[in-house]
Amino acid sequence: MAEFTFELNDDQKQVRDWLHGFAADVIRPAAAEWDEREETPWPVIQEAAKIGVYSLDFYAQQFFDPTGLGIPMTMEELFWGDAGIALSIVGTGLAAVGVLANGTDEQIGTWIPQMYGDVDEVKLAAFCSSEPDAGSDVGAMRTRAVYDEAKDEWVLNGTKTWATNGGIAHVHVVVAVIDPELGSKGHASFIVPPATPGLSQGQKFKKHGIRASHTAEVVLEDVRVPGHCLLGGKEKLDERLARARERARTAPGGERVRNAAMATFEASRPAVGAMAVGTARAAYEVALDYARTRSQFGRPIIDNQGIAFQLADMRTRIDASRLLVWRASWMAATGKPFTSAEGSMSKLYASETAKQVTAQAVQILGGNGFTREYPVERMHRDAAIYTIFEGTSEIQRLVIARTLSGMPIR
């Protein structure tokens, strides 16, 4: 078991510095342009693919880092560059993890490589879970999957929303309801292969922040996928549903609606916390540099306690956020249970830190911070998403409180 340490090893430092160089030299110079265009930054993704940042091999190496720090380190550096472009680069990973967590070896080997494509033809993937009436409340999901036994096909109908790369992806991973009586335990995930009839892009959202990342609805109208596109396979699904029905029949009333998805999401939340740390750190560095060089009344503004104390608080919160993220990531990698919802703690604190730190950075820059001539305005807009996606701050607090109290996470 890897020891928990605050010091990266030499290999991790080398990867961190390599990522930082890519973020500084390629992502940052393109950030303002693609934020304004509100389009997927294909040229930047192509550059990421050329050097190996956008590749299955790279993310697999980081995912299986025994210390657990590979993914949070990667996320922090890329999102330090720019949140919108970074999300375009890492968004495929959401779908890949969905297949890795639920798929068979054959499905993993078949579909994950197709999600990334290659240097000559870059591909994207989309993970489709949220719906117009089912965001935090995943038990309210309405997208249905019905099995056509005669043709060994699953028929999907419904509308997904807030899907990163939705509609433009090569491969979509769709969560659908098999048995609505079982709540979230009656859900399953499906691969929708490229060019499958019936899948279309709905509304593309024009967003407050992360505007270089494509976010859209995905509409499913009698989408037929082969039986082998059910992640994990039908035999495994039937066994799982049978166990869930038996537990629902025999367990106390409150247990029938217990939401197992919440516990699953808990393990992925530190990665979102690391994204928030990257954005907060970027804004802090801009504000620190500005405060050192901007003079008013004959001296740098950092000489004023009102500015200096803000910077001290900003740095303290950023470091504390990183430590919470690293602790949770190490616990997940080494199999230690989140007995106090440490994953949600890291995401909650880091996301709230990103919002606060970027707002303080705008304030320190004054009128300049309110203009698009300086990047903190964009960082402040980008930071708003961290307290919303992958579970809102309110949901994080609910998960933490119920975990501490011993109540079921619904």
Catalytic residue among 3, 106, 390, 394: 390
Q: Contact 45/122 with Cβ under 8 angstroms?
A: yes
Q: Which residues contact 160 (CB under 8 A, 6 or more apart)?
A: 128, 129, 130, 131, 143, 166, 174, 217, 218, 219, 220
What's the chain's length in residues? Answer: 410
Alpha-carbon torsion (87, 214, 132, 176), positive or negative: negative
Q: Contact 131/160 with Cβ under 8 angstroms?
A: yes
| Cα(71)–Cα(60) distance, integer angstroms | 9
Whole-number Cα distances in Å, 283 to 197, 250, 315, 356 = 44, 53, 11, 10
Report which of 243, 269, 286, 271 is spatially closest to residue 374, judged by C-alpha positions: 286
Cα angle for residues 18, 12, 334 (degrees, 5° grid) = 140
Is 390 a catalytic site residue? yes
Whole-number Cα distances in Å, 11 to 65, 216, 238 = 11, 38, 44
What is the residue whose two structure tokens read 């995905």? 218
| Cα(204)–Cα(113) distance, integer angstroms | 26
Q: Is 304 exposed, middle or buried (0-12, 13-18, 19+ CB in 10 A)?
A: middle
Q: Greatest CA separation found in the chain?
A: 82
Residue type for position 83: A
| Cβ-based neighbour number of residue 274 at 10 Å | 28
Give me the active site residues, please. Answer: 390
